[in-house]
Chains A and B, each alone.
Chain A
């Protein structure tokens, strides 16, 4: 039996290739687990963001419905205010136009303005003057206008006129 004079090397537990492979795998596992954790965190963030955005949308919709209701209420008020101020303005214009129409020689005792109808009582120096001035204006504005005259004791005439708008002659 021959004997070797070389000192035997201690046998490695794992071969070098396997150590290298296992190290690579360990590195891969670390990378994969890290990435998975990072993704998990990112997903959680996105989910939170989504939840917050959904809540913001709901809150905004609620505010929007309140704003819409208040807007509708105020729009009703706008219509009401416009209609009332227009009506008042028209009333003023009607009265103003009527008084502007009265000629100098005619004295009014009563003027009654209602929708589409005008009733007048007063006195004039002559029928002719009334017919040539005031009656002409009334005829042009109203579809029907009739006047009755009563002679006054001291001269001149009292008149009673009714003018109607919208009715056929």
Chain B
């Protein structure tokens, strides 16, 4: 090989090496950098997703237990107030029931009806049984205000106000 040819070879070798280095510098390096950045971002997002899933599972379990325990009250507050149904329920516990609706108020999506109940019982135990049953009633109801018991020849006349929570009509 002549000296001229050898010099040519060196030049070509230099050019080829330069192209390789430039390719690596301008194409490979940015791509590897982008790949690594995406890898880190994906890892961060994945761990965030994992953390959120764990938190969500806990919240969902709490919601499920609440849905189970509050099913009755939730159903009750989605029903409209019906005086006839209410009267037939109260009649199971008292004789000669008289009902008188006093106030009906609306608070958002909940309606409260204050109803005066007058009925006769033969012993106080019947009244206790009524209150126990009240907590399992179709509607949400609470005894409000004064409870009055009068001695009558036929038994004890109980009168009290019941506040019933139902859905707004």
Partner of B70 from the list A74, A84, A89 (CB cut-off 8 Å) is A74
Q: Interface on B for A, CB 8 Å cutoff?
A: 1, 5, 9, 12-13, 16, 19-20, 23-24, 27-28, 31-32, 34-35, 38-39, 41-42, 45-46, 48-49, 52-53, 55-56, 59-60, 62-63, 66-67, 69-70, 73-74, 77, 124, 127-128, 131-132, 134-135, 140-143, 145-151, 165
Nearest chain A residue, comparing its CB with the CB of B162: A88
Q: Interface on A for B, CB 8 Å cutoff?
A: 15, 17-18, 21, 25, 28, 32, 35-36, 39-40, 42-43, 46-47, 49-50, 53-54, 56-57, 60-61, 63-64, 67-68, 70-71, 74-75, 77-78, 80-81, 84-85, 87-89, 91-92, 95-96, 99, 107-115, 122
Do B143 and A53 touch across chains, with their CB atoms under 8 A apart? no
Do B28 and A43 touch across chains, with their CB atoms under 8 A apart? no
Q: A64-B56, A92-B128, A110-B150 are in contact. Are A77 and B73 (CB under 8 A)?
A: yes
Q: List 14 A-B contacts (CB under 8 A).
A: A18-B12, A40-B31, A43-B35, A46-B38, A47-B38, A53-B45, A64-B52, A77-B74, A80-B140, A85-B135, A95-B147, A110-B150, A111-B148, A115-B145
Do B77 and A77 touch across chains, with their CB atoms under 8 A apart? yes
Do B134 and A88 touch across chains, with their CB atoms under 8 A apart? yes
Shortest CB distance B48–A (Å)? 6
Cα A17 to Cα B1 in complex, Å, equals 10
Q: A60-B49, A81-B70 are in contact. Are A87 and B149 (CB under 8 A)?
A: no
Do A92 and B131 touch across chains, with their CB atoms under 8 A apart? yes
Partner of B46 from the list A35, A53, A108, A113 (CB cut-off 8 Å) is A53
Nearest chain B residue, comparing its CB with the CB of A111: B149
By a CB distance below 8 angstroms, the chain B residues around A61 are 52
Do A64 and B134 touch across chains, with their CB atoms under 8 A apart? no
